[in-house]
Amino acid sequence: MAFSKKPVTGMKDIQPAEMQIRDYLIALIKQTYKGYGFTPIETPCFESIGNLSGKQGGENEKLIFKVLKRGEKLNLADAKEENDVVDYGLRYDLTVPLSRFYANNQTTLPRPFKALQIGPVWRADRPQKGRFRQFYQCDIDILGDPSWLAEIELILATTAMLGKIGFTGFTVHINDRRVLKAMAAYAGFPADRYDEVFIILDKMDKIGLDGVRAELVENGFAQEAVDAYCGLFSDGLTIDTLSAKVDSREMAEAAASLSMITESVAQAQKTDCKLVFDPTLVRGMSYYTGTIFEITMEGFSGSVAGGGRYDEMIGRFTGQPTPAVGFSIGFERIVTILLDQGYQVPGAAEKVAFLVEKGMDASRLAEVMREAQAVRDNGATVLVSIMNKNKKFQKEQLTAEGYTDFREFYREALRN
Amino acid sequence: MAFSKKPVTGMKDIQPAEMQIRDYLIALIKQTYKGYGFTPIETPCFESIGNLSGKQGGENEKLIFKVLKRGEKLNLADAKEENDVVDYGLRYDLTVPLSRFYANNQTTLPRPFKALQIGPVWRADRPQKGRFRQFYQCDIDILGDPSWLAEIELILATTAMLGKIGFTGFTVHINDRRVLKAMAAYAGFPADRYDEVFIILDKMDKIGLDGVRAELVENGFAQEAVDAYCGLFSDGLTIDTLSAKVDSREMAEAAASLSMITESVAQAQKTDCKLVFDPTLVRGMSYYTGTIFEITMEGFSGSVAGGGRYDEMIGRFTGQPTPAVGFSIGFERIVTILLDQGYQVPGAAEKVAFLVEKGMDASRLAEVMREAQAVRDNGATVLVSIMNKNKKFQKEQLTAEGYTDFREFYREALRN
């Protein structure tokens, strides 16, 4: 088969300039989150195909890259369907692997367990500009803590992280799946169609309240219910106003929790981020059970981070209920923003180029190498390179790579 | 399909204690190698199956995890062989992807290009103790530099790295594929069977010179050639003695190169490592064309790093000859050694646990959170956790995780 120079469809080679930002960001994330007691873990990039097909993954389960069975296990001739010839799949998120990890290791893990995961995931999405089929996710999760302390820590840690990058003007949108459900119940929508309602509600920022109203009616929901529902949404709606109108146990619990979380974060946080109760916030994944949140940034569409509480998912692996809440920052999104901004990584080393004449003997070369080492010991990057015939062009190239200091070494050490 | 708690066969979950060592090691590697002007790059974990099946990979090509085609491209009913149903494979090393990366990006990359890659690779090996089907490789490569400066920099950088971990008593074994060939030619072995000779020679450390002799004869090589060949190996053989006996242009070139490299490194290096010319060093991969090297450590079998010059491989992708030399450290091996030694990562943060009484109001909790943040700003890790009923047991658990400082916070701030 022919060699192909290009990366496979929808994936990309990462160039030195982008790698510098990624490495810096990963180090900053690890340092910051470790400060909050999060512990890095790593799972294999493969999961058994059964674990990836448990419905938690929603639409992502249609996008799995599947791994062919090997050796005697592969029987191509008798294969009827895909799952006859595959045993593993590449993970499409870090949440399914975390659940399995926790189930597998819970006897030795602390409780609550605060996990930090950074790594690639794969989705066979239709290739499109700016979206790739291999991309990094960066998740923090707290397992085994049913209290709002978990949400507060996640939000404080995430906003502190974004602040450290130098981001300003961000807003934490916060809601609760129980609020969504209580509002849908108040309107009188049938309980088995709540998810449909939420999918339409999720379009609010694109189609507005009138658009949501129209689409609900189009989808066959009763006019009366739609009117009651849409009547709840008004600008500046607070959780207190809402819970006064929608009087249910679920709403009361969610309101208490949201108030506690937003007040504590507002008073404790050190960044300038705003906290906003957003009853239109849905978050796609159906596994969320409580608080949900998302962070937006002024001047940028979409969100830069998102997460929520998912108290029922881990239990499906472990067999015993395990409260869980997670926050994921949009790693690739942030890298793109920083690249577009021409972000300069702070504390980058001074870059010194040693240009060495050809034909040096071993002693003279060792002398140069020792000098290079001494400069490195002072924290600089030292590139030792053979001096080209066209020294001017060589220096121009090195300047483009960030080298600012050039030193020339000849076969005979020159006395200055 | 049923959920499985275990990682897939032959792969492993990485626990917090091991992650701490891995993260530290990766940071140390990046910092050290960047000091030598190496630039991190990253390629996708997938390569087109054609790129992975170009014979450079040797035996590894039999161990590829292959990715099933998707959608309309998959025609299971008419599939006759594996390659009808797959389009990609998981990379089995970082050298094939580097070659493709260079071919794809060479117009914008500096020359010489010094690349650093750290990342997972996959091989469907028979599962066995201590060997995993997903493992990290860590490679530095210099592309576009035909001079021995490249070898010298690679060896200095790698030994400096091992020294920084605290390793002592290591030996760099160095040889040259041209030496291997010149010796085989001297003995009179047929040129098309050199690789067979080298595979047998490679067993020297296990079966000794008599074993090598016997196996060569068994494999049908002429007794006369075998005698001439084995007569070359003697204890303490130097490159000078050897090149006096084996008089050929290839041997002379290799001898000059080896002398230059070993002398320069010996004089320039700051660690206590020994440099030894080792005419029995073969290295498995047939793509090597010049210098080859390996690092062993006292008290540990096998090698902790290895590499060599492969001047012809990149050209197969780019269409134009590109000299290349690389050095790979055994990342997983080193992690295992450090874990076994009970290695303590230097500069680990002090760990402080804030235990918080249940039922605090938002203002009081925010106060605690602000205090936690102040302690974090001083570089400590602070875990904020709800105080359990059994506080003694909770503290014992936290002590086991490395927490040394416990502070208790109650609903009402206590005056001390």
Q: What is the pLDDT of residue A313?
A: 87
Q: What is the pLDDT of residue B416?
A: 44
Burial letters B32-51, b for 16+ CB under 10 A, else e: bbbbbbbbbbbbbbbbbbeb
Task: Provide the shortest C-alpha distance from residue B126 to chain A (in Å).
Answer: 11
H helices present in A378-415, as ranges: 391-400
| Nearest by CB: A16 against B41, B381, B398 | B41
Is the Cβ of B320 closer than 8 Å to some Cβ of chain A?
no
Q: How confident is the model at residue A270 (pLDDT cuts 50, 70, 90)?
A: confident
B232 and B161 housed in the same domain: yes
Phi, psi angles (nearest 5°) of residue A395: -70, -35
CATH number (domain holding residue B386): 3.40.50
Measured between beta carbons, the chain B residues lying within 8 angstroms of A74 are 82
Measured between beta carbons, the chain B residues lying within 8 angstroms of A122 are 45
Helix (H) or strand (E) holding B302: strand B300-309
Q: pLDDT digit string (tens) for B182-198?
A: 999 999 999 999 999 99
Quick check: A385 and B88 CB within 8 A? Answer: no
- Give the domain range for residue B386: 351-415
Q: How high is the mean pLDDT of chain A?
A: 92
CB neighbourhood size of A94 (10 A): 25
B57 and B96 housed in the same domain: yes
B333 and B357 housed in the same domain: no
Is the Cβ of A81 closer than 8 Å to some Cβ of chain B?
yes
A 120-149 residues with CB below 8 A of B? Answer: 120, 122, 124, 134, 145, 147, 149
A243 and A198 housed in the same domain: yes
- Nearest Cα residue in chain A from B39: A16
Q: Please report whether residue A7 resides in a domain.
A: no
Q: What is the pLDDT of residue A415?
A: 46
Q: pLDDT digit string (tens) for A69-107?
A: 998 899 888 888 888 999 999 999 999 999 999 999 988
Check if the interface score ipTM surpasses 0.90: yes
Q: Please report whether residue B1 resides in a domain.
A: no
B373 and B330 housed in the same domain: no
Low-confidence residues of chain B, pLDDT below 70? Answer: 1-2, 413-416
| Nearest by CB: A381 against B20, B37, B386 | B37
Measured between beta carbons, the chain B residues lying within 8 angstroms of A114 are 383
Measured between beta carbons, the chain B residues lying within 8 angstroms of A153 are 384
Measured between beta carbons, the chain A residues lying within 8 angstroms of B81 are 76
Distance CA A129, CA A134 (A): 13
B262 and B196 housed in the same domain: yes
Contacts of B235 (CB under 8 A, 6+ apart): none
Q: pLDDT digit string (tens) for B219-276?
A: 999 999 999 999 999 877 899 999 999 999 999 999 999 999 999 999 888 777 899 9
Q: Please report whether residue A242 resides in a domain.
A: yes
Distance CA A163, CA B88 (A): 40
Is the Cβ of A100 closer than 8 Å to some Cβ of chain B?
yes
| Nearest by CB: A7 against B44, B112, B267 | B44
B286 and B174 housed in the same domain: yes
CA distances B336 to A119, A208, B121, Å, are 21, 57, 17
Q: pLDDT digit string (tens) for A218-243?
A: 999 999 999 999 999 987 789 999 99
Is the Cβ of B230 closer than 8 Å to some Cβ of chain A?
no
Is the Cβ of A94 closer than 8 Å to some Cβ of chain B?
no
Contacts of B333 (CB under 8 A, 6+ apart): B302, B304
Number of domains within chain A: 2
Q: What is the pLDDT of residue B124?
A: 95
Nearest to B93 by CA among B309, B285, B296, B335: B285
B72 and B157 housed in the same domain: yes
Q: Is the pLDDT of residue A1 over 60?
A: no
B 194-223 residues with CB below 8 A of A? Answer: none
Quick check: A37 and B384 CB within 8 A? Answer: yes
| Nearest by CB: B50 against A3, A65, A105 | A3
Measured between beta carbons, the chain B residues lying within 8 angstroms of A15 are 41, 105, 108
Q: Please report whether residue B289 resides in a domain.
A: yes
CA angle B129, A66, A41 (to 5 degrees): 50
**What secondary structure letter does DSSP report for A310?**
-
Is the Cβ of B86 closer than 8 Å to some Cβ of chain A?
yes
Last residue of one domain, picked from the residues B313, B340, B367: B340
3-state secondary structure of B403: coil
Helix (H) or strand (E) holding B131: none
Q: Please report whether residue B202 resides in a domain.
A: yes
Q: Please report whether residue A401 resides in a domain.
A: yes
Quick check: B365 and A264 CB within 8 A? Answer: yes
Q: pLDDT digit string (tens) for A164-222?
A: 999 988 999 999 999 999 999 999 999 999 999 999 999 998 999 999 999 999 999 99
B93 and B39 housed in the same domain: yes
- Nearest Cα residue in chain A from B82: A76
CATH number (domain holding residue A315): 3.30.930.10
Q: What is the pLDDT of residue A114?
A: 96
B258 and B368 housed in the same domain: no
CB neighbourhood size of A117 (10 A): 23
Quick check: A264 and B369 CB within 8 A? Answer: yes
- Nearest Cα residue in chain B from A35: B381
Q: Is the pLDDT of residue A414 over 80?
A: no
Q: Please report whether residue B5 resides in a domain.
A: no
A368 and A305 housed in the same domain: no
Nearest to A172 by CA among A38, A309, A307: A307
Q: pLDDT digit string (tens) for A287-320?
A: 899 999 999 999 888 899 999 999 988 888 878 8
Is the Cβ of B349 closer than 8 Å to some Cβ of chain A?
yes
Is the Cβ of A106 closer than 8 Å to some Cβ of chain B?
no
Q: Which of A14, A38, A42 should one mutate to test binding to chain B, selecting the residue with the greatest count of B CBs within 10 A?
A: A42
Q: What is the pLDDT of residue A70?
A: 93
Task: Provide the shortest C-alpha distance from residue A160 to chain B (in Å).
Answer: 10
Q: What is the pLDDT of residue B220?
A: 95
Q: Please report whether residue B2 resides in a domain.
A: no
Percentage helix, strand, coil for chain A under 3-state DSSP, each rounded to 5: 45, 20, 35
CB contact at 8 A, B289 and B177:
yes
Last residue of one domain, picked from the residues A278, A308, A340: A340
| Nearest by CB: A8 against B44, B260, B349 | B44
Q: Is the pLDDT of residue A281 over 60?
A: yes
Task: Provide the shortest C-alpha distance from residue B3 to chain A (in Å).
Answer: 5
Tell me the whole-structure pTM to 2 decimals: 0.94
Alpha-carbon A255 to chain mean position: 28
Q: What is the pLDDT of residue B77?
A: 87
Q: How confident is the model at residue A4 (pLDDT cuts 50, 70, 90)?
A: confident
CB neighbourhood size of A90 (10 A): 26
Helix (H) or strand (E) holding B346: none
Distance CA B1, CA A48 (A): 10
A225 and A254 housed in the same domain: yes
Last residue of one domain, picked from the residues A290, A319, A340: A340
| Nearest by CB: B264 against A14, A365, A382 | A365
Measured between beta carbons, the chain A residues lying within 8 angstroms of B13 are 41-44, 101, 104-105
Q: What is the pLDDT of residue B415?
A: 46
Amino acid at B17: A
